[in-house]
């Protein structure tokens, strides 16, 4: 069983499993799938301030907090039970490209040359970590949800705004990965 879980699953298995989340949630009480709203639920539960944005019945959405806790717990368990002691394999073409940006350490899930507290004090690290994080948070709030909420749940419900949001997410990702990120990595 662990051997099956430790290997990547083909798209034709993983995709339908992710897609089946939508009808299951709808059948379990008209629940909506999405991750980004959990920060709002958490703030509404923990902040006693009378901020109008956090004044709603967050307890109705508390199931989603358990869902995120399950994601975190599952990731933690997988990192222990399915740990692979072998070095991370990176495609040679990507290694060559990343070496041109002075990224050489591939011993962790994220390259330490880019994502570390030491790099937070560099221009490149500040742009990637702080400004990038702000833009993701702002974009998620501006779009009224994250990629999982719009692309999985919204498209399955045939919502026009979710189609627009998903197209914008994809276009932004392509533009960033191909034009903006290489420029930032050269800093």
Tokens of 48: 């006693």
Whole-model pTM: value is 0.73
pLDDT at 33 over 80: no
Torsion (CA) 45, 59, 71, 1 in degrees, nearest 10: 150
The chain-wide mean pLDDT, for the chain, equals: 87
Q: How far apart are CA 5 and CA 40, in angstroms?
A: 32
Same domain, 93 and 164: yes
Q: In the listed set 64, 83, 102, which residue is the last one of a domain according to the structure? A: 83
Same domain, 46 and 109: no
Please give the tally of structural domains in the chain.
Answer: 2
Residues 109-127: tens digit of each pLDDT:
788 888 888 888 889 989 9
Same domain, 3 and 78: yes
Same domain, 137 and 179: yes
Better-predicted residue by pLDDT, 110 or 171: 171
Q: In the listed set 83, 102, 137, which residue is the last one of a domain according to the structure? A: 83
Q: In the listed set 31, 56, 83, which residue is the last one of a domain according to the structure? A: 83
Tokens of 8: 């990547």
Same domain, 177 and 128: yes
Same domain, 123 and 141: yes
Same domain, 34 and 96: no
**Any long-range contacts for 151-158 (C-beta under 8 Å, 24+ apart)?**
152/18, 152/19, 152/21, 152/22, 152/33, 153/22, 153/25, 153/32, 153/33, 153/34, 156/19, 156/22, 156/23, 157/22
Same domain, 60 and 152: no
Same domain, 184 and 114: yes
Same domain, 74 and 162: no
Concatenate the DSSP letters of all residues of 16-67 into one string. Answer: HHHHTHHHHHHHTTS----STHHHHHHHHHH--S--GGG-S-GGGGHHHHHH
The predicted pLDDT at position 175 comes to 96
- 3-class secondary-structure state, position 144: coil
Q: How far apart are CA 98 and CA 96, in angstroms?
A: 6
Same domain, 62 and 124: no
Q: Tell how far CA 32 is from the center of its chain.
A: 17
Task: Find the domain containing 77 and state its range.
Answer: 1-83
The predicted pLDDT at position 82 comes to 84
Same domain, 122 and 35: no
pLDDT band for position 168 (cuts 50, 70, 90):
very high
Q: How far apart are CA 17 and CA 12, in angstroms?
A: 9
pLDDT band for position 160 (cuts 50, 70, 90):
very high
* For residues 72-92, average pLDDT: 87
Instruction: Read off the DSSP letter of residue 120.
Output: G
């Amino acid at each position: 069983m662990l051997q099956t879980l430790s290997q990547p699953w083909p798209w034709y298995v993983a995709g339908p499993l992710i897609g089946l989340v939508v009808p299951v949630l709808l059948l379990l009480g008209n629940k909506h799938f999405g991750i980004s709203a959990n920060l709002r639920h958490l703030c509404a539960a923990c902040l006693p301030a009378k901020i109008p944005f956090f004044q709603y019945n967050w307890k109705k959405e508390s199931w989603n907090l358990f869902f995120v806790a399950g994601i975190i717990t599952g990731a933690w368990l997988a990192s222990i039970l399915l740990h692979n002691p072998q070095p991370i394999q990176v495609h040679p073409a990507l290694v060559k490209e990343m070496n041109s940006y002075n990224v050489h350490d591939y011993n962790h899930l994220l390259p330490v040359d880019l994502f570390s507290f030491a790099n937070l004090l560099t221009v490149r690290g500040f742009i990637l970590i702080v400004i990038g994080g702000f833009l993701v948070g702002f974009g998620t709030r501006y779009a009224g949800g994250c990629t999982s909420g719009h692309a999985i749940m919204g498209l399955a419900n045939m919502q026009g705004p979710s189609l627009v949001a998903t197209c914008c997410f994809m276009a932004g990702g392509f533009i960033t990965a191909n034009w903006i990120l290489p420029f930032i990595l050269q800093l």
